[in-house]
Amino acid sequence: MKKIRAAVFASGAGSNFQAIMENDLLCEVALLVCDKPGARVLEKAEKFGVPTFVFDSKEYASKSDYEKELVHRLQQADISWIFLAGYMRIAGPTLLNAYENKIINIHPSLLPEFPGKDAIGQAFKAGVSTTGVTVHYIDDGIDTGPVIAQESIEVFSDDTAETLKERIQQVEHRLYPVVINRLMK
């Protein structure tokens, strides 16, 4: 049977992209979308032989313009699911309407706590004893869509922001592929 085709959107180091690629997925990652020319995730895509679409938002007049191009590329590649993994842009109606309930994101906190940038730093500074990881559907807000799965992580008294980040990323790398496979069934 033909596998569902998915795209990963990532613009950073790509450790979640790598974790997704190294797992036995029920879908095929057929495209990597990246909005940061030169991002480290692009080397990883090359290593795994995943085609990429890289764009610079500054070259488009508006969000709806670059999202029209994105939707066109996604449809051309027969993509039916999108997994965000460090894509730092808020989706607009063009993308959301084309992929309704088919776009998920992973975020390094127990949402609704600590949405937005540097969630790990925010949690660390706030001095919480527990934080975690959330996988959720996206909507037009910042990390506000319906939660699909969460896992808690204890913050130890001797943690630094870096050691906490390491443990959070270990959980992300295990959780995201599991949740993806659950959704593909």
Beta strands at 147-154 and 130-137: parallel, antiparallel or unpaired: antiparallel
Radius of gyration of the chain (CA): 16
Residue nearest to ligand GRF (CB): 86
The sign one gets for the Cα dihedral 143, 11, 174, 31 is positive
Q: Could you list the residues that contact ligand GRF (CB under 6 A)?
A: 10, 12-17, 85-86, 106-108, 172
Q: How far is the CB of 14 from ligand GRF (least distance, A)?
A: 5
Cα 185 to Cα 168: distance, rounded to the nearest angstrom: 26
**Separation of alpha carbons 157 and 13, rounded Å:** 28
Q: Which is nearer to ligand GRF, 98 or 119 (CB)?
A: 119
Helix (H, G, I), strand (E, B) or coil at 174: helix
Nearest residue (CB) to ligand GRF, 30 versus 104: 104
Annotated catalytic residue 107: yes
First-to-last CA distance in the chain?
13
Q: Residue 109 CB, nearest distance to ligand GRF (Å)?
A: 9
**What is the per-residue burial (b if ≥16 Cβ within 10 Å, else e) of 152-176?**
ebebeeeeeeeebeebbbebbbebb
Residue 84: CB minimum distance to ligand GRF, A: 7
68 vs 128 by CB, closer to ligand GRF: 128
Min dist. Cβ of residue 105 to ligand GRF (A): 6
Residue closer to ligand GRF by CB (options 4, 171) is 171
**H-helix segments, the chain:** 15-21, 41-48, 63-76, 93-98, 119-126, 161-184
Active site amino acids: 107
